[in-house]
Structure 1
Amino acid sequence: MHKKTQGIVLRQVKFKESDKILTIFSRENGKISAIAKGARKTKSPLMGSTQVFCYSDFVLYRGKSFYHVNQGEVLNSFYSLRNDLYKLAYGTYILEIVEAGITEEESNEKVFLLLLKTLNVLSVIEDDFLKLVLAFIIKFLSFMGYKPHLRRCVVCNNNLMGRIKFSISQGGVLCDKCKNSDLYALSLDLNTVKAMDNLLYAKLDNLDEVQIPESTLLNIEKILTKYLLAHIDKKTFKSLDFIKSIPK
């Protein structure tokens, strides 16, 4: 039985002489594995629609082990991401997060639309890539059920005052009174908490209106990376390691 779906190609692996095995984040079926026969041939009608980053209309049919890509039509190739090393690296990081965090064949339209919007914004901006990716990560965590508790203490629900910390295990900010309830909690200040809250609720189109110092962004990156890794049971992101290796 054939099935039509929109999908974003998260990953491709060479298979046999001219085929590809794709990881596709589909709008209706979540993350799926699909084989695209002959897609590596220069004249293949599937060559364009099965490239990594491509947002395409697919016609699939279900085989014993994989879906099979019968047809594909490119809706947006996000070609500009391939022309800038930083855009390519951060785009790859975003795809790696989604692939690691999404369960096989479990639909999540909120995350699908978030990914699509983030790739759209990344393809047109010229700087502030880290701010965009951090906004993506904190929204992604929220849509996956791990929304961080930022406006009050996650333990006692009191206002945040004095020295505060962020608890990965408890999922939010600890007030001065509760900060020692987690020995591994990470230090931060009220400005960092406010910046995280702004990233959580700001529209991705309007991030240029959210002014955050670089030092604060780097602290948010440290906190969100650890929080993300803890919840998707992953030790590291290869694409993030690559980003860190790029000379400034």
Structure 2
Amino acid sequence: MFIKNNIIVLSKIKYSESDLIIKAYSREQGIISYILKGILKQKKGKLRASHFQLLSQLAVESNHKPNRQLQSIKDARLNYFYKSIHTNVFKASIIIFLSEMLSSVIKEEEPNEALYDFLVTSFQWFDHQDEFANFHLLFLVKLTKYLGCYPDVSNIEAPFFSMSKGVFTDEEQDVYSISDNNLTILKQLLGTNFEAINSIQLSAQQRQSFLNMFLLYFELHLGDFKKPKSLEVFKQVFS
């Protein structure tokens, strides 16, 4: 079956001397994996290895075969050309970290157009920014909305937040309740958007503390979640 898909590359691994295996999230079908045979040695043709960088946004044509784990791509073109996220060392570190996060938490084999559109617009916005230190924090908070574990903000003025229940509470609930500076940051992030993110002033230490806390939130709500292997390198880049 000949199929056209709009995809975002979540991960890629080298397979043999010249092949790549790509895991992607598509607007039309959810998670799809592709094998790109010979692409690492290919000098001519429609497919280029440079098109399949992490979080690249592509329109692909494939000969889709049901029940096959790895599909093959016949043609691909960029839907959007990134200007900075793969060349700026700090942005590239964020991209590596977030792509690993997305590869871990997105399991859907069914389409979710709202999630796909969120990813597309978020990364295009990120690509144009000169100040982006808080981007990954707000991105992760907003991502929970599409994973079914967005914090309940109906009682957001309360002095505690129960990470295990995902609600703001008037009293400490358990060992996963927070009431420190991370609570203030969470409230700030829940009350803003990307356009206003730079108004939140945080130190590198505060960002790392909040990130550690929010990764625990992912662990509590997504049973098979594992912290990205790139986390330590990511922290070192921004320390």
Alignment TM-score, normalising by the size of structure 1? 0.83
Q: Which moved more, 1:50-59 or 1:213-222?
A: 213-222
Q: Deviations over 1:9-47 (max 9, x none)?
A: 111111233221101111111111111122212334211
* Structure 1 residue 196 displacement after superposition: 2.9
Please, which runs of 5 or more residues in structure 2 have no aligned partner? none
Percent of counterpart pairs with the same letter?
A: 23
For 1:102, the equivalent position in structure 2 comes to: 106
Say whether 1:188 aligns with 2:177: no
Name the amino acid aligned to 1:220. F
Q: Which moved more, 1:81-90 or 1:38-47?
A: 38-47
* Correspondent of 1:133 among 117, 132, 136: 136
1:220-239 matches, cutoff 5 A? 220-232=210-222, 233-239=224-230
Q: Deviations over 1:160-211 (max 9, x none)?
A: 2xxx332221112221xx31x2133233366434313224xx2x23433x33
Please, which runs of 5 or more residues in structure 1 have no aligned partner? 154-158
Name the amino acid aligned to 1:12. K
Q: Measure, in 1, the Cα distance between the counterparts of 2:7 and 2:26.
A: 4
Q: Measure, in 2, the Cα distance between the counterparts of 1:101 and 1:43.
A: 35
For 2:29, the equivalent position in structure 1 comes to: 29
Q: Measure, in 2, the Cα distance between the counterparts of 1:37 and 1:133.
A: 33
Q: Please identify runs of 4+ aligned residues in structure 1 that moved more than 6 A.
A: none
Contact 2:54–2:99 at 8 Å: present in 1 too?
A: no
Name the amino acid aligned to 1:195. Q
CA-atom RMSD in angstroms: 2.3
* Correspondent of 1:69 among 66, 69, 73: 73
Question: For 1:81, what is the secondary structure of its paired residue?
Answer: coil
Contact 2:152–2:166 at 8 Å: present in 1 too?
A: yes
Contact 2:3–2:61 at 8 Å: present in 1 too?
A: yes
For 1:174, the equivalent position in structure 2 comes to: 169
Change in 2 beyond 3 A, CA 1:216/1:194? farther
Aligned residues: 232
Contact 1:118–1:132 at 8 Å: present in 2 too?
A: no
Say whether 1:56 aligns with 2:48: no
Alignment TM-score, normalising by the size of structure 2? 0.86
Q: Measure, in 2, the Cα distance between the counterparts of 1:14 and 1:7.
A: 19
